[in-house]
Amino acid sequence: MMASTGSKCPSLPKIPIILRRRRPSRLVRWRCCEDTLGVSLSIPGRAQQPSPQQVFFPDLAVGPAVPIPYPRPRRIVLVRHGESEGNVDEAAYTRVPDPRIGLTPKGWRDAEDCGRRLRQLFQGSSSDSSDWKVYFYVSPYRRTLETLRGIGHAFESDPHRIAGVREEPRLREQDFGNFQDREQMRVEKETRLRYGRFFYRFPNGESAADVYDRITGFRETLRADIDIGRFQPPGEHSRNMNVVLVSHGLTLRVFLMRWYKWTVRQFEGINNFGNGDGLVMQTGEGGRQKTAKPGDLNYDFMTDGQSFFDKQFHLADL
């Protein structure tokens, strides 16, 4: 009989226990590509190299200093193309694609006269206007490109005044549906008056509401270009930059509607300005943001909302 013990379990051999030092815990953070956009990873002891984003998109560079915001353009000028072949003969649209309709001889004179008035406007009479420059956005249609060439004649003596030119397809004319049948187009325009000028969509074409959608996208691009100083020479913050949009009658009216937040009723109460004419949107003193007052452009209508530009006048009034 076995002797009584404190435990009924047989004794186990002793196993040596080896104590290991715990490694310090490491905090792991998963980062997506958006977290590091424009930010280079810092590695101790290694020289920092600019990231591809910083090389190709310097506006995204992140640094300790807060960048100085770029000033708003002194003016945004909306210019309608000069008289076109379609303005004097609507039958031209039945045999020539709309994007290929060019200017008439009078249309070229309209463009050159517009260029002289623009130059006179930008030069001004004050000494602080000596460093003025102009940046153009232009519709890719032939009549607007020719208008821009006519305007450019006024700047041939000092081409450095032109900060840049960008062809912008979103500034194109309302699409009326490829080749146009003259009689059918007459019926469609009569129907548009009954249906409503803003919402009526031409067969195989666009309504003014469709143009509004693409102009909304362009407006965001323009605002972004202003914010990042797209028009400014490197290292400069000029307050005498002017932006000119060379486009078409309805497209420019839709731009004004979108910029000033006009209602559909207000839009339908205004008409195109003349060929080679334009509208000047000018900042107030100090670039203050004030309520827009389009004045003679929309006649009896008032607007609401804020805008960078609080003065408007026609180029023909200069």
Q: From CA 63, how far away is CA 132, in angstroms rounded?
A: 30
Contacts of 177 (CB under 8 A, 6+ apart): 202, 203, 204, 205
Instruction: List residues with catalytic annotation.
Output: 81, 173
In terms of Cα–Cα distance, which of 179, 182, 247 is closest to 215? 247
> Which of 163, 274, 175, 159 shows the shortest CA–CA distance to 226?
163
